[in-house]
Amino acid sequence: MIEELFTDLFRIEIPLPQSPLKTLNAYVIKDPNRNLLIDTGFNRKECLEAMQDGLRELSVDLGKTDIFITHLHADHFGLVSKLTGKSCRVYFNRPEMELIESFEGFHTMIEYAGRNGFPEDQLEAALSRHPANLYGSDWLPELSLLDDRDTIDCGPYHLQCVSTPGHTAGHTCLYEADKKIFISGDHILDDITPNIQCWMDEQNPLKEYLESLDKVAKLEVDRVLPGHRRLIKDHRARIAELKDHHKQRLQEILVILEQGRMNAFQIASKMTWDIVAESWDDFPVSQQWFATGEAISHLKYLEKEEKIIQEEENTIIRYKLRNP
Ligand SMILES: [Zn+2]
């Protein structure tokens, strides 16, 4: 499905089979000199076909097209190796390029998940089904790195990078100030809440995410073009909802911890999730994984706010209220 949103700016809907996200919004700006494609899809047949069909229908020549990728997740980055030609520039952010380059497998995440109470025998299964393992890019193209406030010009569109860490470490949006268009990747979504995961002890991604939301709220925006689902008109109202959602989650965890000391996996099992399943034990293991990562990001935030205390015993990490 293709839709012209603004003059020469199109949305191509890319299916994401078996993903609860359902589809990805790829955006294309057509320009006689160089076109710009924003985000790509999973590295799998259905995504490639939809992208090729869309580009063909728009008469977009990939040989004259640069690609901007908002963040490293496979539904945005995965298809890039199938689309880049010789002269294609691939714009990306520095923090995530460093993560990709230093990536040595999932073992540090697996170890950390185990210390947070995730059942060890489930971990391999959880990660073998992780989209990064199944639908990642075949190889890493040469990347043109952009920092906050760097610009890309494409036709009448002057796009400025807005660094928005939180959903991922280097997540970057694009802002067209004159036209008040904001291309948000997974930073702001409608209908669904961007997931904020934490799989490293010293990080506080939820704090970064909330700060990034405040940063974007200051911009003048008429239309948000998100990475999934519907376009958003009132970005400040949506940002307020997202902030409220996380405030409620933090509160929920404090109430759960009134029952006593627990690890993150146990806490996640007691939180409310938008998943159709009879009970926590019926959650697919991949959803338990995402839920636990989300619980940890909230626990890290509460710990840094000095509301809770982290304790470690025989390598297992548990949390308790600071003032029970
Ligand atoms: Zn994402």
At residue 44, the 3 state secondary structure works out as coil
Gap between the Cα atoms of 246 and 214, Å rounded: 14
- Ranges 101-115, 190-204, 231-245, most confident: 231-245
All residues at 6 or more sequence positions from 266 whose CB lies less than 8 Å from its CB, including other chains: 117
Gap between the Cα atoms of 159 and 198, Å rounded: 30
| Block residue for tokens 């040469």 | 142
Structural domain range at position 54: 2-321
Q: How many angstroms separate the alpha carbon of residue 167 from the centre of ligand 1?
A: 7
Structure tokens at 21: 């996200």
91 beta partners: 68, 144
Dihedral over Cα of 22, 197, 280, 74: its sign? positive
Q: How many angstroms separate the alpha carbon of residue 168 from the centre of ligand 1?
A: 7
Q: How many angstroms separate the alpha carbon of residue 73 from the centre of ligand 1?
A: 5
Q: How many angstroms separate the alpha carbon of residue 29 from the centre of ligand 1?
A: 22
Gap between the Cα atoms of 140 and 101, Å rounded: 9
Q: What is the pLDDT of residue 97?
A: 95
pLDDT in tens, 8-18: 999 999 999 98
Q: What is the pLDDT of residue 58?
A: 97
Looking at the chain, the whole-number percentage of residues with pLDDT higher than 90 is 80
Q: How many angstroms separate the alpha carbon of residue 135 from the centre of ligand 1?
A: 13
Gap between the Cα atoms of 283 and 271, Å rounded: 13
CATH number of the structural domain spanning residue 58: 3.60.15.10
203, burial (CB in 10 Å: exposed 0-12, middle 13-18, buried 19+): middle
Looking at the chain, the whole-number percentage of residues with pLDDT higher than 70 is 100
Give the residue from 2, 21, 28 showing the smallest Cα distance to 13. Answer: 2
Contacts within 8 Å (CB) and 24+ apart, 107-115: 108/199, 108/200, 109/199, 112/199, 112/200, 112/201, 113/199, 113/289, 113/292, 115/312, 115/315, 115/316, 115/317
Q: How many angstroms separate the alpha carbon of residue 189 from the centre of ligand 1?
A: 10
Q: What is the mean pLDDT of residues 150-178?
A: 98
Q: How many angstroms separate the alpha carbon of residue 32 from the centre of ligand 1?
A: 31
Helix (H) or strand (E) holding 215: helix 205-217
Q: How many angstroms separate the alpha carbon of residue 186 from the centre of ligand 1?
A: 5
Q: What is the mean pLDDT of the chain?
A: 94
DSSP code string of 51-66:
HHHHHHHTT--GGGEE
Q: Are the C-beta atoms of residues 234 and 216 closer than 8 Å to each other? A: no
pLDDT in tens, 30-86: 999 999 999 999 999 999 999 999 999 999 999 999 999 999 999 999 999 999 978
Q: How many angstroms separate the alpha carbon of residue 291 from the centre of ligand 1?
A: 15
DSSP code string of 266-322:
HHHHHS--S---SSGGGS-HHHHHHHHHHHHHHHHHHHHTTSEEEEEETTEEEEEES
Q: What is the pLDDT of residue 228?
A: 98
Domain tally for the chain? Answer: 1
Q: How many angstroms separate the alpha carbon of residue 72 from the centre of ligand 1?
A: 7
Dihedral over Cα of 292, 295, 296, 297: its sign? positive
